[in-house]
Amino acid sequence: MHPLPLVLPLLLLCRGAEAGEIIGGTECKPHSRPYMAHLEILTPQNHLVSCGGFLIRRNFVLTAAHCAGRFIMVTLGAHNIRKKEDTWQKLEVIKQFPHPKYDDLTTRHDIMLLKLKEKANLTLAVGTLPLPPQFNFVPPGRMCRVAGWGRRQVHGAGSDTLQEVKLRLMDPQACRHYLAFDHNLQLCVGNPRKRKAAFKGDSGGPLLCAGVAQGIVSYGQKDAKPPAVFTRISHYRLWINEVLKEN
């Protein structure tokens, strides 16, 4: 099965009240997820698209490698991405570090670090999120949460406000229809019997299990039917630490 990266063209975000976010989710309490980053990306083809991401250091955001672009602007401290608040911090990305083994066709190693031009100010609305240790292999069955500004309906627009949904980690067998799925590198997320999912526009956002970022929204099916595939962060801790140390 060909993966569908969960990026969202920003043109869709501007069509007014067509509905649109995380599917089957609920609106987050404003600023209750202070690590969330909204990414506005200018692609090499000059299209504007959006992704999610999350702050892991004052000057570094973690996201998906398929969210790379010619230029990225990060907004921190946002709840409604259409209504500017005093809590907002807009920071330019000066360097993108997609994983060196990222493969566009299989969407494996779909992880990227973004270095910000300036350090974010840590406030009640802007904070960092802890990452799991290298050998922290989170097991199937665990209930986790994912947040984002992506679509609420398959054919809807993106959400103005940050949404979140509870999703279960599935046995790797549940993702066997994704031909490139690798349980060591990825997480299989979302009960196929439930209509809950991360979708377009949620790419790059964190999967939180017991307050720790265990996964990154990577790809799913065109009809948003769960499960979807998330990048397993613990597998990449050595690489993340190296990039942070050198920069």
| Active-site hit among 50, 203, 218, 234 | 203
DSSP per residue, 213-235: EEEEEEEE-TT-PSPEEEEEGGG
- Closest by CA to 34, choosing from 125, 137, 151, is 125
| Active-site hit among 110, 159, 234, 235 | 110
Collapsing DSSP to helix, strand or coil, 141 comes out as coil
Q: Which residues contact 34 (CB under 8 A, 6 or more apart)?
A: 77, 123, 124, 125, 126, 127
Rounded to 5°, angle at Cα 87 from 83 and 88: 65
Whether 203 is a known active-site residue: answer yes
What is the distance between the terminal CA atoms of the chain, rounded to a whole angstrom? Answer: 37
Whether 32 is a known active-site residue: answer no
Whether 26 contacts 148, CB under 8 Å: no
φ/ψ of 238, rounded to 5, equals -60, -45
| Active-site hit among 31, 38, 50, 66 | 66
Whether 66 is a known active-site residue: answer yes
Catalytic residues: 66, 110, 203
